[in-house]
Structures are given as structure tokens and as C-alpha cells.
Structure 1
Amino acid sequence: MNIDFINIGPIQKANINLSKKLTIFCGENNTGKTYINYSIYSLLKTAFNLVPDFMASHVDEIKEQGIYQIDMRHFFDQRFESLIKKIEKNYLDMLPFTFATNQDFFKDSQIQLHFNKELLSEYSYKKEYNDSLVVGKNKKVLEIEKQTDSPIVMVTLLEKGVPDRLLAEKLSETILKIIFGDVFGKTFLLPAERTGINLFFKELNVNRNVFIDNLNKLEKKRSRQIDLFEFMDDIISRYPLPISDFIYFLNDLEYLKRQKSEYKSLATELQRKIVKGSYRIEDKDVYFQPYRSGKKKLNLHIASSTAKTFFSLVFYLEHMAEKGDYLIIDEPELNLHPDNQRNIARIIARLINKDIRVIISTHSDYILRELNNLILLNEKFKGRSKLMKKYKYSEEELMSTDSIAPYLFGDHAVHPMEMSREEGIIAKTFDSVINSMNESADDIYYKKREHVDNA
């Protein structure tokens, strides 16, 4: 999938290719990286939340016939382009909510989605799909089945009286997942504000409960009907969508911790190599237990800045991560020593090699240089094995330039960064700053040395 973003914040135009395993955004401050990160998050998260009118015409026939067939070949021939337009419109309608601002701010914004229609058609033909619609106490009212190597989706209505909108929504979701299931994966975003949010989310909950108690008393006195939880959710929703979603994620830890992910080993590695400790969730509190501290545990708010920053990533890998996910990390280098910036680069490489699609925005020259090491080591050459052993690289960390899409932000535009198998990612944005700094340091050193020598 290629996306053209037009007039999004400071960005006049950006073409982003999301078909790569690793997408990298670099550039100076205030050049629009967060705007594009949030825009991608919103698109991936809400693509399946279309108004169901594009499938509404099938509902009457399903209710009349009971068993109904949808031919995906007909859909691709006659309705694919209109579906893309609806996804684009849905994204634009969501922009004010995504950024928690007024609609006029995005009045000139546009988005254009570009897909390989033939490839998607082939994918949907081969895909096997089974689903159902359940209402009430586990009452199944609709079954949906598509066999592999078939264009036909079989829809069976099991009960009468199912609301038209519910049927249309389920059909819309089905068609979208059959066509785009591997394109619009589950998305998890770690905002740059994660360290602070990890600290205040509990206080937000406490204040929320106190506020609700007080409003309850007020409601009883005045006999007013107030949906208190909806009222507080409205307050949280005044943050940009990725921030409010991150707060909801933290509020849901007790439930989410019951799940187990196949990426737990990477969470363990991250704790061992970077945060030097483990996390525990007890009675809605998050604790950090440093290694070599015996059984002593710390409330997260008094743990190190690194422990605070990486809690959410560790939790995601341990309990939530699934193959095909999009993981968006704003500044993965946050609060990290340069050596650990290299370590997080290696963990990102292991993630993409285990089918997690990663998008990062970074100011770290260390991360890019370490990724370049992994690119260069991906090809066989004399002495490679000795180097890998010496610097403790593993085959699971290596990657090719074909799996990476790096972009440079600046001057209201976004440009692909150069890459080669011989050098990896050519990061001129960092090189120019480093060269300038070295030049000024040399000038200062030698001028002072000259003064001392002449004294």
C-alpha cells in the first residue's frame, strides 16, 4: 500500500510505502513526523470502521433468501474503486478527532490510497475465512464462510429479526477483512509522551473516581440524569486519538495481562539487556523489580526513566503482540544510553524478522548506524562469521534493504532516503550535523591550543 498525504500539518505532500517491514522517519524537529505517524495510526485503526452503506444493498436479499452468496470477482470488478474512496473519506472525516482539533485545521487535507488491485484479488481468492455474528447470550444469528481458492463468500442467516444495520456492519467488516486483512493489521502506537502518561494515568483514574462520586451526589440532589462514564470518556477523548488510546490501554492492564503473546521471549530480552529488571502488575499498580535487588520492588513512578519508558513496549510484547501487527514507536531512543540505543535497534530488527511491521520516528544516529551494521552483515563476505561472533550479532537480527523504507522530513515535504547494500541507509541529516560539530570542536581545540602554546 502506498499513501499520498497532502496538506497534513506542516507536510504539503508525502508518499509513504507501507509494504515494507520497517519504516523509518528522520528529520529535524517540527517537520511533521508525528503528524504522519498519527495519520498512519488513524488510517490503520479506523479502516474497518466504515459506515456500512456500501453493503446495505445486500441486506434485503439476505433476509429474504436466508442463504446468500457474494462473488468477490464481481466486487473487484465493479466496487473496488468506490470502496477505496470510502476509506479515504472516512480517514478525512476522522482527522479532527485524530488530532483533537477543529475541522477547519484540515480543510485542505487529502489522502490518496494506492493498492495493487490484482494482488489483492489474488490474495482474497486464496484466503479462507470463517466468522459469525453473535448477539445476546452467545446466540449465533449469522454465519459467514469462504473456502480457500474460491471467490464465493457464503452468508447464512440463522435467525430472523436481526437489525439491518447490524447485518450491514458485519458484511462490511467481512469484505474488508477478506480484501485487506493483511494490509490493515492491528496497530499499537507508543507516543513520545509515554513516560509521562505511564506516571499520571493512575492519578487520572483516582481523580476520575472522585469526580464521579461528587457528580453522583450532585445528580441525586438535583435529580439530573448524567452519563458519568461517558462524560469522563469525553474528557479523555479530547486528547489526540493515539494518546487517548494509550490511556485506555493503561487502564486495561488488569484485563490484558491475562493474554499471552508468542513474542514474550523478546520482552524478556528487552528487560534483560535494556531495563535490567522486570515488571509486575498487582491491584492495578505497576511495579518494577530491578535485577539483583532480591525481592524488592518499586512503584513505577520511582523507577528509572528507562524503566518507565519501556514498560508499555515490554507489556505489548509479552501480552498483546501478534503476527502482522503494526508497531509504531515515536522516538525509540527515548532515555537510552547510546549502547542501549544499539540494543533497541537489534530488537526492532528481530521484531520485523518475526512478522511485526515496525514504524519508527527517530533522531538517533546510533540506531541508524546499528541498523546499517545489520544490513551490511546480511550479505556473505570473508571474515563475516568472525565479526558476528566478535560483536555478538545473530542471524535473527540481520535484514536487507528490500525490507526497509527510510524517509527524511524537511522543507514541508518527505523524501525517500538513499540506501545501498554497501553502505546501508545514507543518513545525510545526521552526517552534516556530526561533521559540523567535529569542525567546530577542532577549531575550538586548536585555537585554544595555539593560545596556550603562545602564552
Structure 2
Amino acid sequence: MHKAKNTNRPSKMLCKPQIVAQHFGPIEKAAITLRPLTIFVGESNTGKTYLSTLIFALHRAFGKQRNGTHLEVFTAELRRCFGVASVPELIRLSGNSCDKMKIALRCSGNVFRLYASESEIRSEGEAPAALGFCTEKGQSCAYYLPAGRRGIMQAHEAMATAGQKQNLPMADSGILTDFLKPIVGYQEGNGVANPMQRIAAALEAEVLRGVIEPKHPVPESVAMDSLEFQYRPRQAVRGLRLSQASSMVSELAPLVLFLRSVVRPGDLLIMEEPEAHLHPAAQSQLAFTFARLVRAGVCVVVTTHSDWFLQQIGNLIREGELAGLGEKGGKPQEFLKKREVGVWLFQKGCPVEEIKYNRIDGIEPSEYLDVAEELYNRAAGLQNRLEEMKGGSQFERK
């Protein structure tokens, strides 16, 4: 008699893929190791979205067996994901004289490299299929939640209301289509409370304070050709259309729907700016969702500008250190191990650098502290000048 397998055990990547990009879009050079939780921080227009999209394209190209050579498959994915006619369009946009781009994926001694210039595209290394993206349970899927989710969801709602679901462009044409497919073809799980459904329910309870649900039962909605979603606040009888709910709700609704329908342990989930339109308290609380995903075996990549989110991630690493020292009392799914988290700083015209965790400062970029210090010094200087002009103690503070 065979022993039943434990299908609920979190799936782990068989190796940690190393990704190198040089002279790629706005990126001068990046060399990162994909961790269970990989976080990109830094100023806007420095390449965080470019590298996130590259990771997605690499996963799609090497995450499962495909027809064609590695060069053909990967360059096709680059064109599709970035929406460009040719790969050389992705060569660094700085205007410098260097005109050659390099991309490399390394795992367990296997390396695939791509070189591109205006006149030539070539590759080195015939890495096995699924290089770096296989888990101990088999091949994984990748999902990308782009910025601007609220606008995309509202556009979907308007088209669904008009009964135009079948007219949506579902050709395999890029990130936006990949995002919309699970929404348009939404199917909930089989009713069993799997880890992803529990994480989605916790997100609804702790951050959204209500539930995201189809406006009509899914079979009825499919028959009506107009699958719509609504937000039902806690203890409310009727729901609100997502366009009538807060910006926070429509930004996070896709995450809830993806967790409830398609994301599984072992998958890769990429999310741009999860803190968008969230109150600082909600940004901080959202960090727990990603810690739970890591504990469940999901590989997560996040871009963020949120100091509160990063501070909470730092606290979750400290929780992991305490758990490692034998302290009991913390919630079992709400901690991170230092080795599970990689934070990478993007700066204009500079190589991407890793921000190392330390117990005192956590994982915050020093530039955040510089901004806070500059604001404090300016506020103090203005207050001093106001008090001097108003006669010191006679100044009325409001």
C-alpha cells in the first residue's frame, strides 16, 4: 500500500535562479538572485518594472517545455512581454555609446546568455527546459499584476456590464492580456480551503474589511456573458460595484481573485506597487499577506516605494530570527527568514545594489532616511523663522 503524499506541503524551488541584465532599458547593470521574496526599491524610471518583466519573460520562456530553440522562444517572449517589434529596442535607453545588451540566467551550473546589438542577436548555452523555475512538485506558473490595476479593473467592469466579454482581445499579446485572462475566465476553487484561499480570506478580513465576489454566481455570469465583481463590506447585505468602492479595494481585488483562482504553491507572483492607494496602516498590514505567501511556497517579486511596507517586512524578519532562537508565541505563518528575502536598490545610472538586512535598520534604503531628515530640517527651519517673525512666545501654533 502506497503512502499518501502530503500535497499541502509548501513547494520549494530546486535552485535560486541568478539573473543578470546589462545595458537593458534604463538598467546599466543588475545581477540578482531570485529569493522567495524579492523586493525592488528605488526612484521611478530606474528599471524596477523592466527587471520584473524580464523575470516574467524568463519564466514563461524557461518555465516549461516549448517548441523551438532557447533563442527563438526567449526573444519571442521578450517581444511579447515588452510590446516591442524587435529585441534591440530594449537596449539601454541612456544614450551612451555602448550598444550591446546582455541577459543571463544561471542555475545549478547551467547558464543561458543572450547578447543583442543593433546588428546581431545571439545566445550561448543550451540550458535544459524549465531552467531555474522547476519546483520539487514540477513546473510552476507565473502571474504578473501590473501597476494601474484599478483602471484595468474598471475597464473590464464597463465591458462586462455592456456584455462584451467575448470581444476582449484574448490573443497572446502581452502583460495586460496575461493579467486579464484569469479575471475574464475566473473560476473559484473546488470549495476546499487551500492555503491560497485562506490567505485571500485573511487579506479581505484584515485589509479590505469586506469580500470580493462575483456579482452573480459564476455559472450564471458565464451564461450571461458578463462576469462582474463586487465588493461587499463586512456585515453588509448588498455589495458595491468595484468602481463604486474605494481605490484600495479595486487595487487589491485582483490579488484576491488571483489567489482564489489560479495561484498555487510553487508559482511565481509578481506585483507592482501593492501599496498603491493604501493608507499607511494598510500598507504595513499588507506585508503579512506576502509573508504568508512565502510560507505557503509561492515565490514573490514586488516593486515598492512604501517605507511602511519595508519596515513591516523588517519586523517579520526579526520575528523569524526570534522563532529561530526558539521563542514561541508568534503566529506560525507570519514570519520571514533572512535568507528568504532579497531587497535590491535601483538608482539612475548606477548598478543595482542589494540592501543587506541588519537587525537595527532592517531593509530600508538610506535615501528614505535622507528624505525624512531633509523634511524635518526644513520644517524646523520654517518654524524658527515663523517664531522669530511673530515674536517668539507670541506665535500661535495651529
By the TM > 0.5 criterion, same fold?
yes
Distance 1:270 1:233 in 2: 29
Q: Deviations over 1:237-259 (max 9, x none)?
A: 3xxx2212112222112xx2255
User: Shift of residue 208 of structure 1?
Assistant: 8.8
Change in Cα spacing, 1:315 to 1:233, as seen in structure 2 (3 Å) is closer
Distance 1:380 1:99, change over 3 A: closer
Q: Given the alignment, which residue of 179, 192, 197 partners 1:264?
A: 197
Letter in 2 for 1:448: L
1:432 to 357, 366, 370: 370
2:180 paired residue number: 247
> Are 1:276 and 2:209 matched, yes or no?
yes
Are the aligned partners of 2:63 and 2:140 in contact in 1 as well (CA < 8 Å)?
Answer: no
In 1, distance between residues paired with 2:348 and 2:130?
37
Tell me, yes or no, if the aligned pair for 1:327 and 1:359 is still in contact at 8 Å.
Answer: yes
1:285: which partner in 2?
228
Report the equivalent of 1:187: 142
1:448 maps to 2:391: no
Q: CA offsets, 1:330-350, max 9 Å, x none?
A: 001111111111110112112
Scaled by the length of structure 1, the TM-score of the pair is 0.67
Distance in 2 of aligned mates of 1:268 and 1:51: 36
Structure 2 counterparts to residues 271-420 of structure 1, below 5 A: 271-281=204-214, 282=216, 283=221, 284-293=227-236, 295-380=237-322, 394-412=331-349, 413-420=351-358
Find the counterpart in structure 1 of residue 108 from structure 2.
Answer: 116
Equivalent pair of 2:107/2:132 in contact (CA under 8 Å): no
The DSSP-based 3-state class of the residue aligned with 1:407 is strand
Q: Evaluate the alpha carbon distance shift between residue 299 and residue 207 of structure 1 in structure 2; reply closer, same or farther with a 3 A threshold.
A: closer
Q: Deviation of residue 321 (structure 1)? A: 2.2
- Cα distance in 2 for residues equivalent to 1:210 and 1:25: 34
- Is contact 1:3-1:113 (8 Å) kept? yes
Q: SS state of the match for residue 379, structure 1? A: helix
- Give 1 or 2 for the bigger CA radius of gyration: 1
Relative to structure 1, is the Cα distance of residues 298 and 42 closer, same or farther in structure 2, using a 3 angstrom cutoff? same
Distance in 2 separating the partners of 1:8 and 1:325: 26
Pairwise CA distance, 1:106: 2.6
Are the aligned partners of 1:376 and 1:422 in contact in 2 as well (CA < 8 Å)?
no
Per the TM alignment, residue 439 of structure 1 is displaced from its structure 2 partner at its CA by: 1.4
Q: Which consecutive residues of structure 2, in runs of 5 or more, have no partner in the other structure?
A: 1-16, 92-99, 111-125, 222-226
48 and 373 in structure 1: CA distance in 2 versus 1, 3 angstrom threshold = closer
Deviation at 1:377, TM superposition (A): 2.9
Q: 2:129 aligns with which of 176, 184, 187?
A: 176
Residue 394 of structure 1 aligns to a residue whose secondary structure is: coil
Q: Per the alignment, in what secondary structure is the counterpart of residue 110 of structure 1?
A: strand
Deviation at 1:102, TM superposition (A): 2.8
Once structures 1 and 2 are overlaid, which stretch shifts more, 296-305 or 26-35?
A: 296-305
Tell me the CA shift for residue 11 of structure 1: 0.7
SS at match of 2:31: strand
Per-residue deviation, 1:51: 5.3
- Write the deviation string for residues 87-118 of structure 1: whole angstroms up to 9, x where unpaired: 36532342222111231413543311111139
Secondary structure at the aligned position of 2:320 is classed as coil
Count residues with an aligned counterpart: 336
Q: CA deviation at 1:179?
A: 8.0
Q: Distance in 1 between matches of 2:72 and 2:29?
A: 18
**In structure 1, C-alpha distance between the alignment counterparts of 2:207 and 2:184, rounded to whole Å:** 25
Give the secondary-structure state (helix, strand or coil) at the position aligned to 2:129.
helix
Maintained 8 Å contact 1:92/1:111: no
Alignment CA distance shift 1:425-1:205 (3 Å): same
Pairs within 5 Å for 1:69-148: 86-87=69-70, 90-103=73-86, 104-106=88-90, 108-117=100-109
CA positional deviation for 1:210:
10
Segments of structure 1 that go 5 or more residues without pairing to the other structure are: 54-85, 119-171, 213-228
Q: Which one-letter code corresponds to 1:435 in the other structure?
A: E
Query: What is the DSSP-based 3-state SS (H/G/I as helix, E as strand, rest coil) of the residue aligned with 2:333?
Result: helix
User: What's the CA shift for 1:189?
Assistant: 1.3
- The equivalent residue for 1:17 is 33
